C-alpha cells in the first residue's frame, strides 16, 4: 500500500471508528507504529483536524471530502455493480445505475476521467437469468424490509396459510436464484423466491 493510499485508509478508519491508537492504525495498514505515527503527522500537516484523546479522533464538525476511492477500489465497485446478482433483476439494475452515476458525480474531474477509461477497458458478461416480474416485485419488497428493519407477511404457493410478521433472516442469491430465510417457531426455513405467492411489508 502506497503512502497516499495509506493516508486515505487512515482517514476512512478515523471517520468510521471512535478512537484509534497508533498500534491499531499500524495493524490495519500493515506498517510499523512509527510509520503510522508519521502518517498521522502528515495528515495533521495537511490541515486534517485530528486530535488525541485516549486515541486518535477526528473533530466531529470537520468538513472533509466524502469520497476518495483508489483506482483498485473503483474497479471492485464497478465489478460489483455489474455482477450477475445485480443483473438478475430490473430493480437492482436500476439501483446499480443510480449508484454508478452518484459515484462518478462525486469523483474529482481528473479521477473521473481515469475511471471512465478503466470502465472502457473492462467488459462484464452475465448470463441471462433475469427473474420474473412477480418475483422481482417481491424482491423489491424484501429490499425495503431489510433497509427499514420491518417484518413481513408472506404466502407460499404450496401453503394455504400465511406466515405473518416474520423478520428477514437472510436474503441470498445463489446459482441464479434468490432465496429467503425466515425464523418460524424457532426454526429457520429457506424458501426460493419463485415458490412464494406474495410478500407484504408490515406497518
pLDDT tens per residue across span 159-168: 666 788 888 8
In angstroms, the CA 169 to CA 163 distance is 14
Between the alpha carbon of residue 54 and those of residues 20, 23, 33, 107, the distances in Å are 8, 13, 16, 34
Q: What is the pLDDT of residues 17-36, one digit of tens each?
A: 778 899 999 999 999 999 99
Higher pLDDT, 86 or 35: 35
**pLDDT tens column, 24-75:** 999 999 999 999 999 999 888 888 888 888 889 887 766 555 566 777 788 8
The residue count of the chain comes to 203
Confidence tier at 158 by pLDDT (50, 70, 90): low
- Please give the angle made by the CA atoms of 160, 175 and 193, to the nearest 5 degrees: 20
Which pLDDT value is given to residue 124? 74
pTM above 0.85, yes or no: no
Residue 193 · residue 178 · CB < 8 Å: yes
Which residues, at least 6 apart from 12, have a Cβ–Cβ distance to it below 8 Å? 68
Amino acid at each position: 500500500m502506497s503512502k497516499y493510499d495509506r493516508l486515505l485508509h487512515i482517514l476512512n478508519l478515523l471517520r468510521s471508528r471512535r478512537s484509534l491508537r497508533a498500534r491499531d492504525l499500524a495493524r490495519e495498514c500493515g506498517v510499523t507504529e512509527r510509520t503510522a505515527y508519521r502518517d498521522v503527522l502528515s495528515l495533521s500537516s495537511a490541515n486534517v483536524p485530528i486530535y488525541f484523546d485516549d486515541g486518535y479522533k477526528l473533530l466531529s464538525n470537520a468538513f472533509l471530502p466524502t469520497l476518495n476511492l483508489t483506482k483498485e477500489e473503483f474497479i471492485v465497485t464497478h465489478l460489483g455493480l455489474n455482477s450477475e446478482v445485480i443483473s438478475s433483476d430490473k430493480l437492482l439494475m436500476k439501483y446499480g445505475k443510480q449508484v454508478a452515476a452518484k459515484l462518478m458525480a462525486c469523483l474529482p474531474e481528473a479521477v473521473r476521467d481515469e475511471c471512465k477509461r478503466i470502465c472502457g477497458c473492462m467488459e462484464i458478461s452475465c448470463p441471462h437469468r433475469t427473474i420474473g416480474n412477480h418475483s422481482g416485485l417481491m424482491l423489491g419488497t424484501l429490499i425495503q424490509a431489510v433497509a427499514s428493519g420491518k417484518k413481513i407477511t408472506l404466502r407460499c404457493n404450496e401453503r394455504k396459510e400465511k406466515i405473518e410478521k416474520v423478520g428477514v433472516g437472510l436474503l441470498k442469491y445463489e446459482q441464479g436464484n434468490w432465496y429467503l430465510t425466515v425464523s418460524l417457531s424457532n426454526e429457520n426455513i429457506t424458501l426460493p423466491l419463485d415458490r412464494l405467492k406474495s410478500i407484504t411489508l408490515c406497518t
